[in-house]
Structures are given as C-alpha cells and as structure tokens.
Amino acid sequence: MMKDKLTALAEPFVALKNRVFAGLYFAESISLLGDAFTWVGLALLSYQFGKERSAVILATALTLRVAAFIIFSPFAGVLADRVSRKAILYTTHFIRMAIVACLPFVQHEWQIYALVFALNVFNAFFTPTYRSVIPQVTDKAHYRQAVGLSTATFQILGVLGPGLAGILAVWFGARQIFLIDAASFIIAAILILMLPAAKMQKAIQHKGKTFTAWHDVIKGIRLLFSNPLIRFALFIEFVSAIAGAQILVNTVGHIKTGLHLTDKHYGWVMAAFGIGASIAAFVAGSLDKTKTRRLSLVVGALVLAITISITNFVGYPVMLVLWLFAGLGQSLAEMPSETLIGENIGGSEQGKVYGSHFAFSHLWWAIAYPIAGFTGSHFPGRDFLYGGLISFLFLGVALVFIKKKTSLFYKPIT
C-alpha cells in the first residue's frame, strides 16, 4: 500500500525523462519564480508611491493584467499555429526581460500601469503557446503527468515564491528585485534556445493557407465550445472562479476583521490553500483516469463550494483545514480543461484553442472578482456563505445543461 502511494506521488516526475519537456518545464518554473518577484516588487513599489494609494495601484495593475490576457491570448493561440512556437517562447522571454528591467526606474504611477500592461501582453502570448507545446513534445501516456507537474509547480511557487522574493527584497531593495526577475527571464530564454524547434511544431501544417487572424480566433472559440467535454470543463472553471475569487478577495478581511487575527495568520491560511492545490495537481492524474474527467471536475467544484459555504461559521484552526481542501478542489476543477484540449483537439488547431481557453478562463475571473467584492462589502460575516451558494447555483446549472445536451456522464472508458 505504501509503495503504491509513493508511486502515485512520483508519477508526475516521469514526464521529466523527456528532455524537451524537461527543458520547457525548467524554463517555465524559472519564469514563474520571476513572476513572484514581479508582484512582490510591485506591491513594495506601490507602497513607495503612498500608503493610501498602494491598494488602488495594485488593483488597477491586476485589472490591466486580466484585460491583457482577455484581449491578446486568442491571437497568441492563432500565432502559435502559424509561426515557430520556439521563436514565440524565447522572444516573449527576452521582451519581458526588457520590460521588467525598466520597473526599477519608474517615477510616475502611469508608468507602472503601462509597463504592467505591456508585460502581460507578452505573458498572454507566452502561456497559450507553452500549453500548446506540451502535447507536442510528450506522448499520450505521460501528457497528463506533464500537465499535473506544471500545475503543481505553479501552485508551489505561488506559495514559496513571494516568501523568497520578500527575503531578496530585504537584501537588495524593493526596486532591485526587478533586476533579479529580469535575469530569470534570460536564463529561461537560454534554456528554450537549446531545445529543438521541430519537436514543438511537428503537427503544424499550413497547406498554403493565408493568415486570417479573426477567422482563426473565431474558429478557436468555436472549437472550444463545440466539444461537449471541454465545454463542460469550461463551465466548471467558471464555478471555480466564483469560489476562488471569494478566497482571494475576502480571506484577508475575514482573518483580520472577522477573526481579529494578524497578517501571519493570513499568510498561513493562504499557504494551506496553495499546498492543497499543489497536492491535487500532483495526484489528479491518478485519481481520475476516465476520458471525461467528470469525477475530477464535479468533485473539485463541490469541494470548493462546500468549504467556502461553511467558513463563516468556524474558527481559525478549522479554516486552515478548509482552505487546504479548497486548494485541492480548485486544482481538481481547473486542471482537466488543459488535458482535455490536448487529447480532443487536433495538433494543428491546439494553439488557437489554448489561446481561446486562456482568454475565457480569465474572463471568468474578471466576472468573479466583482461578485466577491460585492459579497465582501455588503455581507460581511456572510460573504463566503453567499459565495458558496452562488457556486452551488452555477454548478447545478452546468450539470443540468450538460445532461440535457450530451451523453457526457455515460461515455465509456476506452
């Protein structure tokens, strides 16, 4: 029994035996660590512009980040199906390096906004391309493990990265931390330059077709929503965003105002959330091996909705456990979309579909953040309860809709 558990935990790392994926994975991990430096640095930089302005600056920066993803990622996916994916990956790294290197020298608030928007425009081009490359360079047997490892690393660095960034900021200074971030982009770009371009592009065949961006963007959206499995997973991602936004927006107020605790307690409870998400990302492939991923999707959304619904009525120790399970639920609810695209969409179309998915998944969060802000400001002490009820409502709608439209729940395993 113990041997089986250890095997399940080690399973995602099997994908690293693939040299091309390993290079991409380490490049992405270095970039993610650099992103943590960016946001910690921005928080400190915002504070330098005035304590009373820091929240406004960060909120505006987050809004610009999401806006860049929604606007540009569909076109990024189209580009990934038309030009060298390797070129997109290393070019976006070098450009982001140059943008981040400008941040230590900003003197005005508008400069922060301009640089953050530009940075995330190129993030919007990098991420869908990276996701579309994974099914190209990994075989089907290890594809889910590769996605799980990437997702788990994202969650782990989300927990550990800000702490490391904070330590470096103390040593080097708030503005100098951006130069460390810029160096991380250079290292990641060099790793990508060492990889063979052909393996990242092997399924792409242009057949003389001209480049029609809007046509391909619309085609990517149509493919995203026409596949019943992917469509259902996307609906579940909306449920996850509704619940997840409650966690990101309202946890700090609940900890400090509702429970009268400190920043340290907030840090621990968010760390529990990140740890839960990391665990789920590692083991999700072993938990649900069905083609539909229905178990992972439905259980993940249910766990998220249940945990936040009861949070207003428990003490801090129980909340730590609940946030651990909430992290588990969020990974289980969000991971299947990426693997379903890789397994159900043809290689020559995957870039545009990943781009469309990236845009819509961030659109869900753009909708969810105001809902969380409304429940937090209008219903203090009941914000998580109402957020959970809204999550249950949309989950019910998704389940009813998918049962009527498809045979999703009766698809045999082959």
Give the pLDDT of residue 187: 92
pLDDT of 48 reads 76
In a domain, 409, yes or no: no
Q: Are residues 31 and 73 in the same domain?
A: yes
Instruction: Assess whether pLDDT exceeds 90 at residue 322.
Output: yes
Domain count, the chain: 2
pLDDT for the residue 337: 77
pLDDT of residue 117: 93
Place of tokens 């105001």: 370
Reported confidence tier of residue 207, pLDDT bands at 50, 70, 90: very low
Say yes or no to pLDDT of 232 above 60: yes
Flag the least confident range among 55-64, 70-79, 87-96, 321-330. Answer: 55-64
Poorest-confidence range of 96-100, 198-202, 222-226, 237-241? 198-202
Amino acid at 395: L
Pair 393, 271 in one domain:
yes
392 vs 335 pLDDT, higher one: 392
Task: Identify which has the larger pLDDT, 168 or 303.
Answer: 303
| Whether residue 164 sits in one domain with residue 302 | no
The predicted pLDDT at position 168 comes to: 74
79 and 111 share one domain: yes
Whether 392 shows a pLDDT value over 90: the answer reads: yes
Q: Distance of alpha carbon 175 from its chain centroid, rounded?
A: 26
Q: How far apart are CA 150 and CA 164, in angstroms?
A: 20
Q: Is 284 found in the same domain as 169? A: no
Q: Is 381 helix (H, G, I), strand (E, B) or coil?
A: coil
pLDDT tens readout for residues 105-130: 988 888 989 999 999 999 888 888 88
Q: Is 411 helix (H, G, I), strand (E, B) or coil?
A: coil
The pLDDT of residue 289: 57
Q: Containing domain of residue 109, as a range?
A: 9-200
Is the pLDDT assigned to residue 226 strictly greater than 70?
yes
In angstroms, the Cα distances linking 63 to 121, 242, 252, 358 are 13, 16, 19, 16
* Same domain (yes/no): 191, 317: no
Measure the CA angle with vertex 349, ends 404 and 296; round to 5°: 45
- Verify that 246 and 358 share a domain, yes or no: yes
User: What does R_g of the chain's alpha carbons equal in angstroms?
Assistant: 21
Percentage with pLDDT > 90 across the chain: 19
Mean pLDDT for all residues in the chain: 79
Same domain? 238 vs 172: no
Both structure tokens of 169: 């900021």
pLDDT attached to residue 409: 39
Q: What pLDDT score was predicted for residue 303?
A: 94
Q: Is pLDDT at 94 greater than 70 in this prediction?
A: yes
341-359 residue pLDDT tens: 777 776 667 667 777 887 8
Do 235 and 379 share a domain, yes or no?
A: yes
Q: Concatenated DSSP letters for 335-354?
A: HHHHHHHHHHS-TTTHHHHH
The two three-digit tokens of residue 247, written as one number: 């966690």
Q: Residues of 341-367 as b/e, b for ≥16 C-beta within 10 angstroms? A: bbbebebebbbbbbbbbbbbbbebbbe
- 269 and 357 part of one domain: yes
Give the integer Cα–Cα distance in Å for 359 and 124.
9
Which residue did the predictor score with more confidence, 372 or 169?
372
Phi-psi region of 138 (alpha: psi -120 to 50; beta: other; left: phi over 0): beta
- 284 in a structural domain: yes
d(CA 266, CA 271): 9
Q: Other C-beta atoms within 10 Å of 78: how many?
A: 25
